[in-house]
Amino acid sequence: MDLNEKIDMIGRLYLGLEQIEECAEFSALIPEVRTNFVYASKDSATPDDVLAIDGRISVVDGFPAAIGKIKFGASGYMAHLLLEIRRKDPEIRSIIDFANNPEIAEFLKAYCKKKGWDFSVVDRSREPENLKDAEGEAISWKVEEAIRAAGGKMPGVFYETGAVGKEPVSILVGKDPLEVAEQMCELARSYRESGQKPK
């Protein structure tokens, strides 16, 4: 990865993060495990090629706030998930995770239908034990399941049901962090306007 690509990536993720941090409505969608927002280089192969928020995004004074700096290699799970998604759809270079519960799940179904987005649900109870890695995740299975449940294409939004000891989360995917941030903030504002109570 050359210096120009690094500069461009850091700038884009920084601007995307700025949008998220100004979106108070997103605070209601930050999960217990906190949010990460990741961006992969064009030729990404390992988590070191993925830019993320060190320490994730939490809530401070009612607004989303990055706990640490933007840096390469700062994410484990979300970086691996993005790399796996890119194996299926190289156009996707950025993803963000957010909360899930029965109300959010119902909202997402209706919201994605209204927007014309592909959407799917990954049922973690069907996760094969023999595919789990050291962290107890079967990430490749999860991505294949999200695609299968969306009728064979990468969904714009998918969520997973919780598993033992794992909080259920939702994922929004996009081509770059500016697109992801814009869509995430629009979704968060719609969720707030729908009258749903924060989790």
Q: Could you name the CATH architecture of 3-193?
A: 3-Layer(aba) Sandwich (3.40)
More confident residue, 38 or 197: 38
Structure tokens at 194: 């729908």
Q: Is the distance from CB of 175 to CB of 94 less than 8 angstroms?
A: yes
By C-alpha distance, which of 88, 6, 65 is closest to 40? 6
Average pLDDT of the segment spanning 92-97: 98
Instruction: State pLDDT tens for residues 10-46.
Output: 999 999 999 999 999 999 999 999 999 999 999 999 9
Q: How far apart are CA 184 and CA 181, in angstroms?
A: 5
Q: How far apart are CA 95 and CA 180, in angstroms?
A: 7
Q: How far apart are CA 188 and CA 183, in angstroms?
A: 9
Look at residue 36 in the predicted model and tell me its pLDDT. 96
Look at residue 161 in the predicted model and tell me its pLDDT. 83
Residues ≥6 apart with Cβ < 8 Å to 191: 25, 28, 29, 104, 107, 111
Report CA-CA distances (Å) from 41 to 87, 118, 168: 13, 24, 27
Pairing of strands 63-66, 119-122: unpaired
Q: Where are the domains of the chain?
A: 3-193
3-class DSSP state of 77:
helix
Look at residue 125 in the predicted model and tell me its pLDDT. 79
Instruction: State pLDDT tens for residues 176-189.
Output: 999 999 999 999 99
Give the confidence band of 198 by pLDDT, cuts at 50, 70, 90.
very low
